[in-house]
Structure 1
Amino acid sequence: QHQPPTLVVWGRHDPIFGPEGAVAFLRDLKHAELHLLDTGHFALEEEHALIGDLMLRFLDRHVAR
């Protein structure tokens, strides 16, 4: 089965979806790239520049030009 490259960005201090939820992705998506950030539930609001950079680097590695 085909599994496209997957970027998982997760807040380490998320009170709703803890870090164990992020690790669960790796059981099913063996080649997923996981980044646990020092944020809460709203990681994108707290670390938008960092997440944007992670996304751009991920796309540079996985999207043909």
Structure 2
Amino acid sequence: MPDPSLVSPDTWEHDFALVSREGNDEVQLALFRDYQNNRPLYPLLHEFLRTSEVPVLAVWGRNDEIFGPAGARAFARDAKDAEVHLINGGHFLLESHLDVVAGYLRGFLGRVLG
């Protein structure tokens, strides 16, 4: 996050409270251990994107260290007419660039829903 002051403390305090709930550490570890089962599904997702013509919008933080921009670009390789926008921001893109993201979303929905 280039300017951490743009992220309201309410955002991360709320997230911290949720992940700090009793037993959540075990839930998160179980999800992490199970992630290996997601990988075999990736080819099915990419095939779906290639064949379904489902509209895809990816508005992504170019500097997101959790979900890197390669994830957004992957949509463009498989989804016909995918819209991919890499914004000069990080993981908290809605906090730092809400108006930009909302503009892309409104335009996309206007075109897709007519």
TM-score interval, smaller chain: 0.7 to 0.9
> 1:25 & 1:58 partners in 2: Cα distance?
15
Write out aligned runs for 1:28-47 (5 A): 28-47=78-97
Corresponding residue of 2:70:
20
Bigger radius of gyration among the two: 2
Does residue 4 (structure 1) correspond to residue 22 (structure 2)? The answer is no
**SS of 1:5 mapped into structure 2:** coil
Over the aligned positions, Cα root-mean-square deviation in angstroms equals 1.2
Structure 2 letter corresponding to 1:30: K
Whichever structure has more strand as a proportion of its residues is 1
Structure 1 residues not aligned, in runs of 5+? none
Given candidates 41, 58, 64, the residue that maps to 2:108 is: 58
Aligned to 2:98: 48
RCO higher in 1 or 2 (8 Å CA, sep ≥ 6)? 1
The one-letter code sitting in structure 1 at the alignment partner of 2:70 is: E
Give the TM-score of the pair, scaled to structure 2.
0.52
Aligned length: 64
Percent of aligned pairs with the same amino acid: 47
Measure, in 2, the Cα distance between the counterparts of 1:4 and 1:12: 24
